[in-house]
């Protein structure tokens, strides 16, 4: 996800469009980037992915560093003081932010339908237990303890019904089904679906690209052949194809 750091005078390019899909992101890349930029009083960051990459970078920052992010173009251009936001969030919420996005929704994970970021943020501010649970999930995602799972389930229930006292998410779904009707978008996910969502990584190790053949006759050098894939039977070229 992170490209190799490129330094030009007072500017640092963190993300590169051509390498975005192929370069893995790791702490060693971030550490290398920070060591090469330690002499700069200010950094200029160009980001193509809004949520997870900035979260990962910012979670590794120490104190005393100002970070400004340029946002928008033309008359809508403005600078965001990310270091001030991080200070207001506190170290634990900054650390938990990438896991929070992967569970609740971000650029690479679908969000809960009809549940906007403002609602999620308001409830998160009232739940220190969720912050602790997300920090534990990020630190060791392979170990999912019952109390952590219960904290996340309770949080999701409150997203759909702030006055609910129900602890079981399946029971909360049944209760909302009776009171609000069978519309699926108004119901929280089942326990099994939420469990799989919690197991999602903070940042995907790779980005998949859908490749399919559009040829209507003989395929010799189609997109599938270029990446060493065979055309499947339901493509339009199936009757006269050399790549089957």
Summarised one tens digit per residue, pLDDT across range 144-159 is: 788 888 999 999 999 8
- In Å, what is the CA distance from 131 to each residue of 92, 135, 204? 7, 6, 22
Question: Which pLDDT value is given to residue 154?
Answer: 92
CA atoms of 48 and 142, how far apart (whole Å): 29
Predicted confidence band of residue 56 (pLDDT cuts 50, 70, 90):
low
Q: Provide the pLDDT confidence category of residue 8 given band limits of 50, 70 and 90.
A: very low
Residue-level pLDDT at 29: 56
Would the pLDDT of 25 be above 60?
A: no
Show the tokens assigned to 123. Answer: 């409830």
Q: Which residues contact 174 (CB under 8 A, 6 or more apart)?
A: none
Chain CA centroid to CA 228, Å: 30
Supply the DSSP symbol for 12: E
**pLDDT tens for each residue of 69-101:** 777 888 888 888 878 888 888 889 888 888 888
Question: Residue 23's pLDDT is what?
Answer: 45
Which band of pLDDT confidence, cut at 50, 70 and 90, is reported for residue 15? very low
The CA distance from 6 to 76, in Å, is 27
How far is residue 127's CA from residue 155's CA, in Å, rounded to a whole number? 8
């Amino acid at each position: 996800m992170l490209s190799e750091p490129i330094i030009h005078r007072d500017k640092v390019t963190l993300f590169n469009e051509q390498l975005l899909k192929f370069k893995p992101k790791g702490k060693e890349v971030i550490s290398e980037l920070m060591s090469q930029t330690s002499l700069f009083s200010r950094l200029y960051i160009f980001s193509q992915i809004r949520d997870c990459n900035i979260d990962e970078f910012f979670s590794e920052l120490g104190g005393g560093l100002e970070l400004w992010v340029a946002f928008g173009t033309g008359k809508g251009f403005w600078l965001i003081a990310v270091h001030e936001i991080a200070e207001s969030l506190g170290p634990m919420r900054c650390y938990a932010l990438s896991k929070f996005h992967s569970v609740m929704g971000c650029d690479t994970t679908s969000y809960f339908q009809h549940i906007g970021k403002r609602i999620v943020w308001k409830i998160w501010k009232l739940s220190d237990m969720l912050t602790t649970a997300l920090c534990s999930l990020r630190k060791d995602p392979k170990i999912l303890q019952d109390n952590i799972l219960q904290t996340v389930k309770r949080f999701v229930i409150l997203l759909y019904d702030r006055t609910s006292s129900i602890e079981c998410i399946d029971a909360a779904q049944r209760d909302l089904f009776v009171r609000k009707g069978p519309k699926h978008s108004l119901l929280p996910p089942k326990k099994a679906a939420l469990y799989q969502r919690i197991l999602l990584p903070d940042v995907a190790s790779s980005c998949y690209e859908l490749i399919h053949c559009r040829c209507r006759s003989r395929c010799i050098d189609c997109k599938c052949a270029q990446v060493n894939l065979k055309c499947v039977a339901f493509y339009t070229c199936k009757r006269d194809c050399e790549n089957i």
